[in-house]
Amino acid sequence: MKEIQIQGIPAVIDRRPIKNINIYIKPPDGKVLITAPKRARERDIMDFLSSKSDWIVRNHWKMVNHASSQQTAKKEISKQERDVLYQKILAFASKWEPVMEVKAKDFTIRDMKTLWGSCSTKTGRIRMNLQLIRYPDPCIEYVVVHELCHLLEPSHNQRFKDLMKTFLPDWEERKKRLNRG
């Protein structure tokens, strides 16, 4: 691997048994990786990179700025906001548990990367994503009802969808809003 600079941005050229030159901007810190054919001439690689330098710089900084704004957003959630989210979750649970005839053992809040919530059907414990504090109450309510439904139906089959439709007729719209960000 050869280390180079593209307009001040460190990059690595990795020669491989491939046909084309490829540029990758790697999350979370925008590292630049260039893969190039083993037989490609140095001059051809540098000419290609020169023609793509604006794209590389733009996308490198996009990645860097996105990563730092995500870190900042995560750090900015205070204990007070966590408590507010917890109270909202408990309020929605108190509203829906009697209606659904279920009872969660407890709710915990975690900073989860890929899920809005999770439910252990064995223990009755429900985890909720800390980032929900950034969303309107109907989205939080949707996740609470969704996880409570798992106490009735563990999988996301048609019965689960029918239960969701019974309890929250607009659940699909709420889900879309949540996943849109």
Q: For residues 33 and 11, give the distance between their C-alpha atoms in angstroms, rounded to a whole number.
A: 6
Average pLDDT over residues 63-75: 63
Name residues whose C-beta falls within 8 Å of residue 117's C-beta, 6 or more positions apart in sequence: 126, 127, 128, 129, 143, 144, 146, 147
Would you place residue 42 in the very low, low, confident or very high pLDDT band (cuts 50, 70, 90)?
very high
Could you tell me what percent of the chain has a pLDDT over 70?
94
Would you place residue 154 in the very low, low, confident or very high pLDDT band (cuts 50, 70, 90)?
very high
Would you place residue 66 in the very low, low, confident or very high pLDDT band (cuts 50, 70, 90)?
low
Q: Is the pLDDT of residue 108 over 90?
A: yes
Q: Which domains does the chain have, with CATH numbers?
A: 2-75 (no CATH), 79-180 (3.30.2010.10)
Q: For residues 176 and 181, give the distance between their C-alpha atoms in angstroms, rounded to a whole number.
A: 9
Q: What is the pTM of this model?
A: 0.60
* Range name among 91-100, 107-116, 154-163 with the lowest pLDDT average: 107-116
Q: pLDDT by residue (tens digit) across 129-153?
A: 999 998 999 999 999 999 999 999 9
